Amino acid sequence: MQLRNCPRCGRLFASSGRGMCNECLQEDARDYDLVRNYLRDNPGANMVEVSRETGVELGKIEEFIRQGRLLAYAKLQVACEICGAPIASGRLCESCRRGFRGGGPEPEKPGLEEMRGRVHIGRRRGDRRS
């Protein structure tokens, strides 16, 4: 065991392979439960509504989305870190990821990723919030 600073609260904790201190891990699990329970009853809710109704910070919900933990809920999106396009998980949108690949090594599962990207783009149209 080694002592580390928790990236979330900054306190020293004994690292056991997980990235955060116990308190933050528990808080994270509790927040995730709140969000998931709310979404079970309100599958069409967007991030702002979820945050307002559950009291969970937007930033945390965004983290859950980027980690791919809320993939079942199509309305929940985060912004691509390069172009700002809405994406359902991860950090980059399909086209930015593609731009990065350009001639590089083979991506892991190109077919699946491409299909997913296309479905999402289709669904986004007409659903634009200004």
Give CA–CA dist 49/115, Å, rounded: 29
- Using CB under 5 A, which of 4, 8, 69, 98 touches Zn ion? 8
Name the one range near Zn ion by CB under 5 A: 1-9, 34-42, 106-114, 119-127: 1-9
- Residue 88 makes contact with Zn ion by CB under 5 A: no
In the chain, the amino acid numbered 55 is: G
**Residue 130 half-sphere exposure toward CB, CA atoms < 13 A:** 1
Q: Which of 83, 112, 115, 119 binds Zn ion (CB under 5 A)?
A: 83
Identify the H or E element spanning 4: strand 2-5
Among 47, 65, 80, 88, binds Zn ion (CB under 5 A): 80
Pick the closer one to Zn ion by CB: 21 or 65. 21
Nearer to Zn ion, 37 or 114 (CB): 114
Q: Give residues 27-66 in contact with Zn ion (rule: CB under 5 A).
A: none
- Which H or E element spans position 60? helix 58-66
CB-nearer residue toward Zn ion: 74 or 121? 121
From the list 112, 125, 65, 108, the residue with the least C-alpha distance to 90 is 65
Cα gap 85→4, rounded to integer Å: 35
| List of residues contacting Zn ion (CB under 5 A) | 6, 8-9, 21, 24, 80, 82-83, 85, 93, 96
